[in-house]
Structures are given as structure tokens and as C-alpha cells.
Homo-oligomer: A and B are copies of this chain.
Amino acid sequence: MLTGNAIIGQSGGSTSVINASLCGILEACLGEKAVRHTLGMRFGVEGLLAGDVIDLGRQDPAVIRALRATPSSALGSCRYKLKDADFPRILERLRQHDVRYLFLIGGNDTMDTIHRIEAHCRASGYELIGVGVPKTVDNDLWGTDHTPGFGSAARYVAMSVEQAGLLARDMKRVDQYVIFQTVGRSAGWLPAAAALARRDEDDAPHLILLPERPFDRQRFLAGVARCHDRYGWCSIVCGEGICTADGTPVSASSVTDKFANVEFGAMGGTSAAMVLHRMIHAAYGWRGEFQVCESLQMCAADRAAPGDADEAYACGRRAVELAAQGASGVMVSIVRDGSVPYRWSLGTASLAEVALAAKPLPDEYITAEGDYVTPACLEYLRPLIGPLPDYARLAGIVPGTDRG
């Protein structure tokens, strides 16, 4: 059995449960004979390159336990993509710390990183076992039923849309629409999850704009008007990355700064929801609001989906078991064994497979009109976010009559 130190890193955007995976890896490493010391990279591979590494085995055990319920990336994260020139330095750092076990928690770029580090070590005759642990609120990883972190972000989205929907319905004499924007550039899993908030037909959301379908201004405005006619208001959920048919992000359209330069996305200070808001207001003159929560949906640990942190923790522990068995070049995956009742187990996917591309919503999860999700999609999503709050609704009983 390969014996040496282990190192753990976190990569990419945060989630509410990525630290539960860190806790799982760390606790398993501390109980694993093949692992002498367990180190942590500060700010992902940037920390490894810079030698910014901490000793995780000597952390207060209470802190390690508390990681299981702490949102964000306790080690620090980065979005650095390794260049070819970085690999000799990476290898040098691994040698320096006698690292034989590499664990990275992240999305498809991260899986690609492990894959490349492993390949470089192999080519250099340095024995290293690398195992990936999935995470991303976007749920766009191949090779796993879903990603730890998605359920909690999806619960945040669905609960926000549910609560804001009650408010919007009760305030429809003042404001006629509400637009909620989710994160997720290219995949519509998070906007889709909002549909779980809808029980009665007039409940929010009424329209869901997915990055998987081209945005069309006329069709969108017609849909909004149809909902407004029917319900007296309209709830719209959109993914941040929706684009028109020619690939132009909605967040970039028809917004110019004072020098008339077109600005793109959040860094230009705009957002898809704001553009939709302007569109509706310009077309119909209604009042309404847009909600852009950005990273809040990635770190709302108090709204974690039941089971999400446990799955994240289990994925972490399994990564160490796999590594100790000599498995390398794999990512731990979650396998769905049943939806009703929900049952799951752990499996593996090859890093090469996962690293390829983002996984979109499949066609059978999107309605023919393209502006909502199907029952099959709801069945997939429901167990991942858990039951939503059940709120009271008054009956319209007319005084002095039997009419309800």
C-alpha cells in the first residue's frame, strides 16, 4: 500500500456543503493508516503552487466536526486553470510535502486538473493517487446523478420563489410581476427547481427561462401577458446565462452605458433579470421587481436540503476509501437507486469522462413550448430539495352566504 501524506483542495464556486465533503475526506484520512499527515491547500492549486499549505490533522476536532454545517470553502478556493508550465512546480511541491494522495473537490475543470496532475506525475515516475469529489450548485457534471451542493441551492431557489410568489400575489394591486434570477451559466437545473414551489395553478413560478432554449423577446412578452391575464400577475424565473438564438446573452442586450458601449453580464453591472424587467416595463408599463441573489444561493446553509450535507460527507469519505484501495483517476459519483422513496448509493466515474463538458437539462425535462419543465423533471428534482413549507391560504367566503 502506498504510504505518504494526503492533500485536500477546494476549487471553483462554493456551495453550502462543500465543507461537509472536506470534513468527510479529512476524518477518513485521519483514520487511514496509509495517510501520515493530511494537508490542505489554501485557495486551491494556487496555494499548492505557492506553497501555501496548512496542516489539517492538527485542527481542533470541534472545528473539523463543525465544517459539516459550514457553508463556503473553508480552505479557500480559486478558479485558476493550470498551465503546462505549472506542472513541474506542482510535482516539486508534492515531493516536498511527500504527498501521495490528492483529493480535490470541484466541478469539471477540477476533475480535469486532477487528471492532468496525475498524468504528469505518472510520466515523471512519481507515484500519486488522485480522486475527485464532485460539487457544484449548477448540477452540470456528467457521471453522477446529481452533485452535492445542488440540492441546497435548488432549495434556496424554490423556497425564495415560493415565498416571493405569495407576496407578489398578495401585492398584485401594486406590482404586477416578479423576476428571480438563478446562477448557472449554461445549464438550467437551478431555474428548473423553482417549479417545485408551484402547487396551485396560480402559484409561482409561471414561466421558467432556461439557458437550454433560445430567448425570444416577442414570445416572452406574450407569455407574460398571458399569465397576467390569467392570474393578475406573473412570476418569472430565469437562468443568468439565457441567450438569444444568435448566442447573445440577454444580460448584454439593449443596455448601454453612458458612452454607448454595450456591457456584458454582471461585470458590466447588469443582469438578465434586469433586462427582462426593463423589457416588461417598457412593453406594458407595469410595476414589478427583479431579484438577483448571486452567491447567496450558494452558501445558505440554514436552507440546506435534507440529505445534501450527508451525501457530500459520504462522497468525501468514499474518496479516501477508493484511494486507499489504489483507485485513481476517478471521481466519486452519486447513484440514484430510487426516487419514491428516494434511495441512493455511491459509485465512480472516470475523470476523463466528467471533465469533458457541462451537462444540460435533457430535452424530456423541458416542455414543448420551452418555457417550463415537465413532470419527469419534477420527479427527478423533488427528492433532492425535500419538502417545501406549506403555507396557509384563506378561502374566499362571502359574508352572509354559503358561497365559498
- Which chain B residues lie closer than 8 Å to A125 at the CB level? none
Give Cα A67 to B394, complex, Å. 9
Say yes or no: A163-B71 contact (C-beta < 8 A), given A170-B76, A295-B168.
yes
The reply to whether the CB of A159 lies closer than 8 angstroms to some CB of chain B is yes
The reply to whether the CB of A369 lies closer than 8 angstroms to some CB of chain B is no
- Which chain B residues lie closer than 8 Å to A266 at the CB level? 277, 289-290
Say yes or no: A14-B170 contact (C-beta < 8 A), given A56-B394, A289-B266.
yes
Q: Across the interface, do A173 and B46 meet the contact criterion of CB distance under 8 Å?
A: yes
The reply to whether the CB of A313 lies closer than 8 angstroms to some CB of chain B is no
Give Cα A74 to B178, complex, Å. 18
- Which chain B residues lie closer than 8 Å to A258 at the CB level? 254-256, 260
- A7-49: which residues lie under 8 A (CB-CB) from chain B? 10, 13-14, 19, 37, 39-40, 42-43, 46
Give Cα A298 to B174, complex, Å. 15
The reply to whether the CB of A341 lies closer than 8 angstroms to some CB of chain B is no
Contact of A178 among B46, B78, B295, B392 (CB under 8 A): B295
The reply to whether the CB of A171 lies closer than 8 angstroms to some CB of chain B is yes
The reply to whether the CB of A340 lies closer than 8 angstroms to some CB of chain B is no
| Chain B residue at minimal CB-CB distance from A97 | B399
Q: Across the interface, do B260 and A269 meet the contact criterion of CB distance under 8 Å?
A: no
Stretch of A103-111, A138-146, A300-308, A345-353 lying at the B interface: A300-308
The reply to whether the CB of A222 lies closer than 8 angstroms to some CB of chain B is no
Shortest CB-to-CB span from A133 to chain B, Å, is 17
Contact of A301 among B40, B55, B67, B389 (CB under 8 A): B389
Interface residues on A, range: 35 or more
- A59-80: which residues lie under 8 A (CB-CB) from chain B? 59-60, 63-64, 66-67, 69-80
Give Cα A401 to B260, complex, Å. 57
Give Cα A69 to B294, complex, Å. 27
- A273-312: which residues lie under 8 A (CB-CB) from chain B? 274-275, 277-278, 281, 287, 289-296, 298-303
Q: Across the interface, do B300 and A289 meet the contact criterion of CB distance under 8 Å?
A: no
Shortest CB-to-CB span from A122 to chain B, Å, is 25
The reply to whether the CB of A123 lies closer than 8 angstroms to some CB of chain B is no
Contact of A302 among B54, B97, B159 (CB under 8 A): B159
Shortest CB-to-CB span from A13 to chain B, Å, is 8
Q: Across the interface, do A399 and B170 meet the contact criterion of CB distance under 8 Å?
A: no
Q: Across the interface, do A163 and B299 meet the contact criterion of CB distance under 8 Å?
A: yes
- Which chain B residues lie closer than 8 Å to A1 at the CB level? none
Most B CB atoms within 10 A — which of A54, A76, A167, A281?
A167
What 5 A-B pairs are tightest by C-beta distance, nearest first? A66-B392, A269-B278, A72-B166, A73-B170, A70-B391
Other A-B pairs, 18, CB within 8 Å; known A73-B171, A167-B298:
A13-B171, A54-B395, A55-B397, A58-B397, A63-B392, A66-B391, A69-B391, A70-B391, A72-B169, A72-B171, A74-B393, A76-B173, A97-B399, A163-B296, A167-B295, A267-B287, A292-B292, A301-B389
Chain A to chain B contacts (Cβ below 8 Å), 13 pairs: A37-B399, A40-B394, A46-B173, A53-B399, A64-B392, A66-B392, A72-B163, A74-B392, A76-B172, A78-B174, A168-B295, A256-B258, A269-B281
